Structure formats: C-alpha cells, structure tokens
Structure 1
Amino acid sequence: MQVQVNETTLTGKQKRFLRAMGSTLDPVVQIGKSGVIDTVTESAEQALAAREIIKVRVLQNSPEEPKAAIAALAKATGAELVQVIGRNGLLYKKNEEKSKIELP
C-alpha cells in the first residue's frame, strides 16, 4: 500500500464550505473491529474518486479511537481530514481528472 503526501492544505473557508456539504451526507465507509485495513482503505479510495467528499463512521467495536482511525484512513488514502465529530469524520480528496466540487 502506497501513501501519497498531500501538498495542498485546506483554508478555514474551504473547510467551512466542505463541512456544510458534509452535514447532509450519510457515512459511506465504516471502520469496524479490524480497524483501518486494506479493504477499508480501498473502499474509501473508490468512494473519494467518485464523490471527492465522504463521511466515515467508526463503529463501537473498533479497537482505535475515532480521531486516530479517521486520521489513519485520511493518511492512507492521501485525503484531507476536514473534521471529526464523535464517531464520524469527513474526508476530502480532489479528483484531478474530473473535479465535481469547486472550492471557494
């Protein structure tokens, strides 16, 4: 598994914009009792490629703390960690070929 380093960091304004978008989303990736494993990373990468912004849920039976698990997933996918609230996190990764989200 290769890890990409993200050279862009989001501004406060961009994060606010993405948080507003993310508030209506349902979690599409769940981190369970196995933690952040390859299959979770792959499904997150596919969802990010299709949507650019995804909500991640850390289940009660996960061995890791929600913040740590979501941060690990963001690092593994090369995505930006927008926010973590409770057991939910928001990840953003710009699709270079066909970008859907226009950041302010």
Structure 2
Amino acid sequence: MSDRLTSRQRAHLRSEAHGQDPLVHIGKEGVTDPVMQAVEEAFNTRELVTIRVLDNAPRPVREVAEAVADALEDVQVVRTIGGTALFYRPHPDDPEIDLPASGAEEA
C-alpha cells in the first residue's frame, strides 16, 4: 500500500464511513495508553475507525489524529473535521474495503 491516500481514495473511505458513530472519545487526559489500546482493538474488527476529540482535550483534533496514526502501524488519517477524525487501516489478510485505483495506475 502506498504511504498516502489519493483524494479519490479518501473520498471513497469518507463515503464508506458516513453515519458511523465515533468508537473512541478523547478527553482531558489526551492520548493515553488505554485510548491507544481502544483504537487498536477497534481496528481488530474494522478497517475504518472514527474518534471524537472532545473540547476539553489538551491538543487539537489534527495533532491528536497525527499522534494516533504515527503510533499505530499502517494507520492513515483519512480526514479530520470539527472534533472528529477518521482513520483507515486495511485488514492485513482479508481487506473488506476495495479502494479505487490511484491515478498513476489508471490509463
């Protein structure tokens, strides 16, 4: 998998996640080990995970999203909007989400 998602792939993932409720909430304690464990466990059963960064969190949603993605293997930030971040990690053996081809692969 390439390191970066194309805008077309991000749009596809956003549509797949439409209506998905946040699975993890990050509050005043910030990104803690239990938060990271909860995100990791969420990726055990799905490829798209939404988190909510509450107003009392110590860092803005973008910084939190980058910290989470950097700490977990193969996790990419699809987007952040408001206090919500959407992450993607394909299942290593049996991916359920079929991403559109990147522009370089199309003729």
- Which residue among 36, 40, 56 is the counterpart of 2:35? 40
Return the TM-score normalized by structure 2. Answer: 0.85
Q: Percent identity?
A: 35
Q: 1:93 aligns with which of 78, 89, 96?
A: 89
> Is residue 84 of structure 1 aligned with residue 84 of structure 2?
no
Match of 2:104 in 1: none
**In structure 2, C-alpha distance between the alignment counterparts of 1:27 and 1:76, rounded to whole Å:** 19
- Structure 2 distance, partners of 1:64, 1:85, is 14
1:103 partnered with 2:87: no
Q: Which residue of 1 is the match for residue 4 of structure 2?
A: 9
Structure 1, unmatched stretches of 5+, are 1-5
Per-residue deviation at 1:28? Answer: 0.3
Secondary structure (helix, strand or coil) at the match of 2:77 reads: strand
Number of equivalent positions? 99
Residue identity matched to 1:15: R
Measured in 1, the distance between the counterparts of 2:95 and 2:22 equals 21
1:60 and 2:25 equivalent? no
Counterpart secondary structure, 2:23: strand
Residue identity matched to 1:83 = R
Pick aligned residue for 1:30 from 10, 25, 31: 25
TM superposition outliers: structure 1 runs of 4+ over 6 Å: none
TM-score (norm 1): 0.87
- What CA RMSD, in Å, does the superposition of the two structures yield over aligned residues? 1.4
